[in-house]
Amino acid sequence: MPLELKKVAPVELRSVGLDERWLQDRIMDDPTLLGLGELEIAGREHRQPIGGRIDFLMLDEEGETYYEVEVMLGALDESHIIRSIEYWDIERQRRPQFEHRAVIVAEQITSRFFNILRLLNRAVPMIAVQLSAFRMDNTIVLHAVTVLDVVEEIADDGVVDEVVDRAYWEKKSDSASLAVMDKIVSSLRTGSVEPRLNYNRHSAIALGTTGYYFCWFGPRKSAGICHVEFRVGREARESELSSLQEAGIEASPHRAYNISFSITMKGLEEHSAIILGVLRRAEEASRK
Residue 211 identity: G
Contact of 127 with 149, CB cutoff 8 Å: yes
pLDDT per residue over 129-142, tens digit each?
A: 989 888 888 888 89
- Looking at domain 10-148, its CATH architecture is 3-Layer(aba) Sandwich (3.40)
pLDDT per residue over 155-207, tens digit each?
A: 444 444 477 889 999 988 889 999 999 999 999 988 777 899 989 876 789 99
Q: Residue 258: helix, strand or coil by DSSP? A: strand
Residue 38 and residue 36: Cα distance in Å, rounded? 7
Contact of 261 with 252, CB cutoff 8 Å: yes
Residue 277 and residue 13: Cα distance in Å, rounded? 45
**Strand boundaries in 149-192, DSSP class E:** none
Residues contacting residue 187 through CB under 8 Å, at least 6 positions apart = 272, 276
Residue spans of the domains in the chain: they are 10-148, 159-286
Residue 162 identity: E
pLDDT higher than 90, residue 77 = no
pLDDT per residue over 252-275, tens digit each?
A: 887 667 898 999 999 999 999 999
- Looking at domain 159-286, its CATH architecture is 2-Layer Sandwich (3.30)
DSSP one-letter code for 7: -
pLDDT higher than 70, residue 48 = no
Residue 62 and residue 11: Cα distance in Å, rounded? 36
CA dihedral 94, 99, 100, 101 (to 10 degrees): 180
Residue 216 and residue 30: Cα distance in Å, rounded? 27
Give this prediction's pTM: 0.54
